[in-house]
Structure 1
Amino acid sequence: MSHITEDYLSGVIRRIAVVCQLSDWSFVQEKFVNMAQNYFGDLIPITLSGTRHGVSVSYNIVLKLAPINEEYRVSGAVTVMFARETYVYSTLMKAYREILQRLPPQSQYVIPKCYYVQQEYCKEVIALQDMTVEGYRPYVHAMFLDLDHTLVSLKSLAKLHSLSFILQNERPQQFEDIMTICGPLTESTNSRYMDIMKDRLDKALKKFPASDITPVLQKLRKNCAKYFKAAVYSVQNTCICHGDIWKENILYKYEGNKPVSACVIDYQTTRKCCPAFDVMYLILSSTNSELRNKYFQQLMEIYYRTFEIALKDAGISSQTVYSRPMFDADMRVVAPACLITANTALWLSNGLQEEGHVRSKHQWTTKEEKEKAVEKYKTIISTMIDDLTNFGYMPLNEF
């Protein structure tokens, strides 16, 4: 996508070697065994070797490189997202690592090491620890997560949210400074993002010209900006949220064939929001209807229990900062915005986004393939709306 040349890549690695204080260094470009979808830039795994103070060292690194061609930067979305993610890794995650040093194993949150960041326009770089070498890998077996993977994901998310509340409690000024950079997502702060959400709702409406859920989609489209604003300003509390946590942005580590740990990645949309938004969005975008209907309460319980324990380990009462009743109430408030976001993600992952700078990675080449993908997408959206209605998060009399 970005036409990364060997000379450009070597220049980037040279700067990383300087930061790592390496001499006589060399690198080998590696390959991922499994590649998750990445829509903003290039991911290049390398092994960087050299000597430091006379000792041989080696680093397994994933380079995240922004598109260097201006044609991919016209909308400004890529620039904003890379700026946000470089800030998260260089500042926020550094603060979280310091907090984690004194928390027990049960509350540890997995954070890849960040070796280097560069924010120069069209030359943005993030050099991260290659977590696949540590045994983490994307879930590529199916479109949706099974129960074990969902539970592990929610536990990791709960720990991420707890770190935000701990940071706010212990370092209020730094927390406020970070919130200034990782501001909320509203129409006034990111009209481009909101336009994308509305566009995908327009596309959804074309696939549902006259059905039971058409009025729901129409109201979501009409009040799109209002629903995203409510997820920040009409909730019980907010924290520093991931903002785009679905299965494409999570890596898993296994013992046998069972996932035992999750590593959340891709922090381009990290922002001030309600914790319930991340939870609801993860469940909607990454599980199927059968799993939701069978285990929804268990998913809620495992998230909140993990969150509660992590805060307790830091000497904070969850009842004070974000009680279970507050969380339950917020799940209802954020449901419409989560559904809108999930619609956008699933339109993309079903191979239906054929134009624009961010397109589906797997597009269909025949009419039959596309028709099948459309029907699959329609079934997914219909069941999401049905489930939210049945759970009481989107009463039909309000739509």
Structure 2
Amino acid sequence: MTTPRKGSEITKEWLEVILTKYEAKTTPDASVQIITFLVNLGADPGNNFQAEVIKVAAEGYVRGVTSDSNNNHKHYNLFIKFLLGTALEQQGARMMNGHRRELLIYSDIIADLNDFQAKTSGDKYHINIPEFVYGICTDDDYVLVMKDLSADGYVTKNKHDGLDLPHILMATDRLARLHAVSYSFYKSHDFFHKYPSFTIAEQWTNMMKVFFSSLIDCFIKAAEFKKEEYKMLFSTLESNKEALIEKLGDMPMNPKKLKIPCLAHGDYWTNNMMFQYDNDVSTDQMFPPHNIMMIDWGNTMFRDPLLDLQYLIYTSTTLSLRKQHLEEILHHYHSTFTTATNDLGVRVDNWEFQDFMEDWKNTRFFGCLTGVMVNILSLSKAGGKYQKQKGSISSNKFKAKIEIKLSKLLIGPITKLFLLPSMQKVAGDMMLKPFKKIIMELESCDEKTQSRVFDLFNEAWQQGVFDV
């Protein structure tokens, strides 16, 4: 069976193979015969920077091998992810293990966490993600297939508006559950022995410091047209940049050095959560959600839970909502986390709300930087163009084989080179390169996007985040 590398290569035969494997989990003798299928784009350009996402609606029969009469007509609604980029870019993604970790989240890890919390707390802290159908991650192939949640009425909120209070509270609640369950699981299981791809080398921490340093320089250049209006703000940021970067460098990725090691989603913002409602309502109306699903786990890793929470709040809410409700949201997170860890038998010492708020202040700069970056990339028109410009592996099979073989030979030496201390400035700049052009077009962004970005900068400055 040839595994497709993109949506245009999906075949009837491949769908039959993967759906037969899916059905065989519950009916060992099952086989699937596809009658018809339709492939559609799963996300607008700019909404997904790391993968091509495809929706497939298929219709077929599920037959039991032992019974000719066991013919069940069935509809399948699938959501499929492929790697984006050239052969070398895809090999680079594999080296960082992000997509392997995402596949493990769907195929094994969340099931392990849910089994653990169900036995310990009676399924009180269930973690909701889309149902896993099929996946493969090798040196040659990558594909992840899930059930399409939209078929069950799940929808995303408008990323331009920010989440209102009922939605951000539900999103915060589920994030706290993920952190609490994974932290409790980590304390009683040898997680990294079972899932070694979640081990991250210290060199990557150093490279992220270089990346954030380059990112700040990029923001300052992009905001040149607002320099007079925010003169003191950017003067403070420039003066204290190195000290702030060092502070970011003290947020390690090694779980043994973390105060509260837990599984972090890594990209938990408006577009990566889907809500379900009791009634068939428009998402533009002010109805509280009934349920939520956490999607798109391509950046998942073990790290400080406060970084996940910072990311959520400063990418997905407006200044107006934060002014009115931030303390309520933070109280809700802390209360949910501490209650859950206590119920799961792993109390976190010395983390009363006052201690939590101190950690919150210490990670606040991360919230500002990632909030600004995600808002520019996701809300600007330039961001919408990015996915269309992304390269791809040749459609010619012979050419594709050569491209993949060369990329395998080159990626190891290139990665080792970039991990050298002397090369990390170059590596950080290269990590930023895909987004730099988008960020530099800040002046041409619409007023709403500019407002979200400069609200984040100004809010952080007024709170003393740029002071060291």
The equivalent residue for 1:229 is 249
Q: Structure 2 vs 1, CA of residues 28 and 350 (structure 1 numbering), >3 Å: closer, same or farther?
A: same
Please give the TM-score of this superposition, normalised by the length of structure 1.
0.82
Of the structure 1 ranges 154-163 and 336-345, higher mean CA displacement relative to structure 2 is found in: 336-345
Match for residue 283 of structure 1 among 313, 330, 343: 313
Q: Is the counterpart of residue 380 in structure 1 residue 403 in structure 2?
A: no
CA deviation after TM superposition for structure 1 residue 58, in Å: 4.6
Q: Is the counterpart of residue 152 in structure 1 residue 170 in structure 2?
A: yes
Of the structure 1 ranges 73-82 and 235-244, higher mean CA displacement relative to structure 2 is found in: 73-82
The equivalent residue for 1:324 is 353
The equivalent residue for 1:189 is 204
Q: After superposition, what is the alpha-carbon deviation per residue over 1:50-87, rounded to whole angstroms, capped at 9, x for unaligned?
A: 31533525543211122374265375479743222113
- Specify which structure has the bigger relative contact order, considering alpha-carbon pairs within 8 angstroms and separated by 6 or more residues: 2
Q: Structure 2 vs 1, CA of residues 284 and 216 (structure 1 numbering), >3 Å: closer, same or farther?
A: farther
The equivalent residue for 2:152 is 134
Give the secondary-structure state (helix, strand or coil) at the position aligned to 1:90: helix
Match for residue 62 of structure 2 among 48, 51, 67: 51
Q: Structure 2 vs 1, CA of residues 181 and 24 (structure 1 numbering), >3 Å: closer, same or farther?
A: closer
Q: Is the counterpart of residue 207 in structure 1 residue 222 in structure 2?
A: yes
CA deviation after TM superposition for structure 1 residue 305, in Å: 1.7
The equivalent residue for 2:375 is 346
Q: After superposition, what is the alpha-carbon deviation per residue over 1:166-213, rounded to whole angstroms, capped at 9, x for unaligned?
A: 212332x1x233674324586x22676666544432321113334222
Distance in 1, matches of 2:32 and 2:311, equals: 47
Q: Structure 2 vs 1, CA of residues 235 and 306 (structure 1 numbering), >3 Å: closer, same or farther?
A: same
Contact 2:222 2:442 in 1 (8 A): no
Q: Structure 2 vs 1, CA of residues 5 and 262 (structure 1 numbering), >3 Å: closer, same or farther?
A: closer
Q: Is the counterpart of residue 243 in structure 1 residue 259 in structure 2?
A: no
Give the secondary-structure state (helix, strand or coil) at the position aligned to 1:65: strand
The equivalent residue for 1:309 is 339
Q: Which amino acid aligns with 2:368?
A: L
User: Quick one: percent identity of the two aligned structures?
Assistant: 18
Give the secondary-structure state (helix, strand or coil) at the position aligned to 2:289: strand
Give the secondary-structure state (helix, strand or coil) at the position aligned to 2:48: coil
Match for residue 33 of structure 2 among 22, 25, 29: 25
Give the secondary-structure state (helix, strand or coil) at the position aligned to 2:323: helix
Q: Structure 2 vs 1, CA of residues 224 and 64 (structure 1 numbering), >3 Å: closer, same or farther?
A: farther
Contact 2:266 2:299 in 1 (8 A): yes
Give the secondary-structure state (helix, strand or coil) at the position aligned to 1:268: coil
The equivalent residue for 2:77 is 60
Give the secondary-structure state (helix, strand or coil) at the position aligned to 2:54: strand
Q: After superposition, what is the alpha-carbon deviation per residue over 1:216-240, rounded to whole angstroms, capped at 9, x for unaligned?
A: 4435753565343322378632211
Q: After superposition, what is the alpha-carbon deviation per residue over 1:69-119, rounded to whole angstroms, capped at 9, x for unaligned?
A: 426537547974322211322332231232243444652221222121111
Q: After superposition, what is the alpha-carbon deviation per residue over 1:13-34, rounded to whole angstroms, capped at 9, x for unaligned?
A: 2441242234242152365898
Give the secondary-structure state (helix, strand or coil) at the position aligned to 2:373: helix
Distance in 2, matches of 1:113 and 1:219, equals: 49
Of the structure 1 ranges 337-346 and 52-61, higher mean CA displacement relative to structure 2 is found in: 52-61
- Number of residue pairs aligned between Structure 1 and Structure 2: 385
Q: After superposition, what is the alpha-carbon deviation per residue over 1:277-301, rounded to whole angstroms, capped at 9, x for unaligned?
A: 1111111111111111111110001
CA deviation after TM superposition for structure 1 residue 242, in Å: 1.1
Give the secondary-structure state (helix, strand or coil) at the position aligned to 1:252: strand
| Larger proportion of helix | 2
Contact 1:34 1:138 in 2 (8 A): no
Contact 1:16 1:116 in 2 (8 A): yes
Structure 1 gaps, min length 5:
none
Q: Which amino acid aligns with 1:25?
A: Q
Please give the TM-score of this superposition, normalised by the length of structure 2.
0.71
CA deviation after TM superposition for structure 1 residue 130, in Å: 1.5
Contact 1:198 1:224 in 2 (8 A): no
The equivalent residue for 2:416 is none
Of the structure 1 ranges 252-261 and 351-360, higher mean CA displacement relative to structure 2 is found in: 351-360
